[in-house]
């Protein structure tokens, strides 16, 4: 029975992903009034609940892998189950958040009333790329040193952080970027490419604690602590970008 504990956490990952989807479906564009009386479109602040459940899914996703290694309970079924859960929690659920931000971005355009729903469909390229990445991962031998392409949870967490940044970072230029549909398209294209690519990206699994073999990991860990202290919510998306950059800079040391 104890050997099934990792699978329980995997199912909990899926459960939180389903709750994130429910929160995403219940959120929509609202019409708000600025203090000076001007009307504007916005997304309800409660959309952060979807981000919360995606974050909880990430926590239990880490725990299921940790427990599987600690209990020597790795199995083919666990690997398949984990990928299915990740597709929902870090593929489908975050794509709903992107869908809402695309709607919000186009709602601020002069042609908003003639919005073609086709302009919102690119949000769902994310779960397509995630499915491809996860299927390929299941056919590969796992590595302690590198990932091939961006892990789906990392991409999901990046997009899950957008509502938190939108509501908590008081920087007008950042809000403007998040309301720019073309910027969102660029992010979708970038992360879809990173997921389906064969770019080697480092794991956070240490085979030793030597500085020479783990420079990128130590830099990332220190950057994480510093950025959370000073940048708060903005730290999460920036750290995922930094993770990719460090992997590219130290790619010769990853193999």
Name the residue with higher pLDDT: 111 or 218.
218
What average pLDDT does this structure show over 217-245?
Answer: 92
**pLDDT at 77 exceeding the cut of 70:** yes
Q: Which of 84, 11, 248, 54 is nearest to 161 (CA)?
A: 54
Fold of the domain built from segment(s) 2-202? 1.20.120
Burial of 151 per CB tally in 10 Å (0-12, 13-18, 19+): buried
pLDDT of residue 42: 63
Q: How far apart are CA 201 and CA 140, in angstroms?
A: 15
Please state the pTM of the whole predicted model: 0.90
pLDDT of residue 101: 92
**pLDDT at 31 exceeding the cut of 60:** no
What average pLDDT does this structure show over 48-64?
Answer: 93
81-111 per-position pLDDT tens digit:
999 999 999 999 999 999 999 988 888 776 6
Q: In angstroms, what CA-CA distances link 48 with 40, 56, 92, 94, 163?
A: 20, 12, 16, 11, 6
User: Can you read off the two tokens belonging to residue 172?
Assistant: 């007008």
What average pLDDT does this structure show over 194-215?
Answer: 82
Q: How far apart are CA 87 and CA 129, in angstroms?
A: 10
Return mean pLDDT, the chain.
Answer: 86
Q: How far apart are CA 249 and CA 240, in angstroms?
A: 14
pLDDT of residue 112: 58
The ranges assigned to domains in the chain are: 2-202
Name the residue with higher pLDDT: 121 or 217.
121
What share of residues in the chain are helix, strand, coil (percent, to 5)? Answer: 75, 5, 20
User: pLDDT band at residue 178, thresholds of 50, 70 and 90?
Assistant: very high
What average pLDDT does this structure show over 18-34?
Answer: 77
pLDDT of residue 210: 74
- What number of other Cβ atoms are within 10 A of residue 190's Cβ? 15
CB–CB of 195/155 below 8 Å?
Answer: yes
């Amino acid at each position: 029975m104890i050997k099934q504990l990792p699978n329980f956490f995997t199912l909990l990952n899926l459960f939180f992903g389903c709750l994130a989807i429910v929160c995403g479906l219940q959120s929509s564009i609202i019409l708000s009034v600025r203090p000076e009386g001007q009307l504007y479109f916005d997304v309800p602040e409660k959309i952060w609940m979807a981000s919360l459940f995606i974050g909880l899914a990430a926590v239990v996703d880490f725990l299921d892998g940790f427990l599987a290694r600690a209990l020597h309970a790795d199995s083919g079924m666990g690997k398949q189950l984990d990928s299915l859960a990740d597709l929902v929690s870090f593929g489908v659920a975050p794509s709903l958040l992107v869908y809402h931000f695309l709607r919000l971005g186009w709602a601020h355009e002069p042609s908003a009333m003639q919005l073609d729903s086709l302009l919102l469909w690119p949000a769902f390229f994310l779960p397509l790329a995630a499915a491809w990445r996860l299927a390929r991962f299941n056919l590969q031998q796992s590595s302690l040193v590198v990932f091939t392409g961006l892990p789906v949870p990392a991409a999901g967490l990046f997009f899950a952080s957008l509502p938190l940044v939108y509501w908590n970072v008081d920087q007008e230029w950042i809000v403007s970027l998040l309301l720019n549909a073309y910027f969102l398209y660029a992010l979708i294209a970038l992360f879809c490419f990173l997921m389906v690519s064969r770019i080697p990206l480092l794991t956070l699994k240490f085979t030793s604690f030597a500085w020479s073999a783990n420079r990128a990991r130590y830099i990332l860990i220190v950057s994480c602590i510093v950025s959370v202290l000073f940048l708060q919510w903005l730290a999460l998306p920036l750290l995922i970008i930094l993770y990719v950059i460090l992997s590219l800079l130290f790619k010769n040391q990853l193999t």
